Amino acid sequence: MCNRSFDDLTGTVFAGHHQPLSVWMLCLYFMGLNLSNRQIAAELEMSETQIHEMATTLRNGIVQQEGSIELSGTVECDEVYVIAGHKGHPNSVKKKDASPENAV
């Protein structure tokens, strides 16, 4: 026995904090929706200072968990082209077969 106390949050960014895990998850969810700290504070009925501390803790925890990836051997990569948007160019998103004579 190690004579130490631990729980399911030991060794995580949530350890040692007083907020319930559900509040942390909601904060993380709202961060993913790109809400401001002010908006998150209003939704969770907390102070902006508390939310700022939680958001900083979450961001730092995510960065700390990122491991370095080392590739070895033969590595293949396929090309992918994703169109991010056609803002200002509505004709570029029209279907090619959308001409009036092809209409049903």
Mean pLDDT of all residues in 7-17: 74
So what's the pLDDT on residue 99?
Answer: 56
What is the Cα gyration radius of the chain? 24
The verdict on residue 17 lying in a domain is yes
Q: Look at residue 99 and tell me if it is in a domain.
A: no
102 within a domain of the structure (yes/no): no
87 located within any domain = no
Q: How many domains does the chain have?
A: 1
Is 70 exceeded by the pLDDT of residue 50? yes
What average pLDDT does the segment 22-49 reach? 94
Instruction: Note down the domain range covering 3.
Output: 1-67
Percent of the chain with pLDDT over 70: 67
Q: Is the predicted pLDDT of residue 103 greater than 60, yes or no?
A: no
Asked whether residue 78 is assigned to any structural domain, the reply reads no
Under the banding of pLDDT at 50, 70 and 90, the label for residue 16 is: confident
Q: What is the pTM of this model?
A: 0.54
Structural domain contains residue 86: no
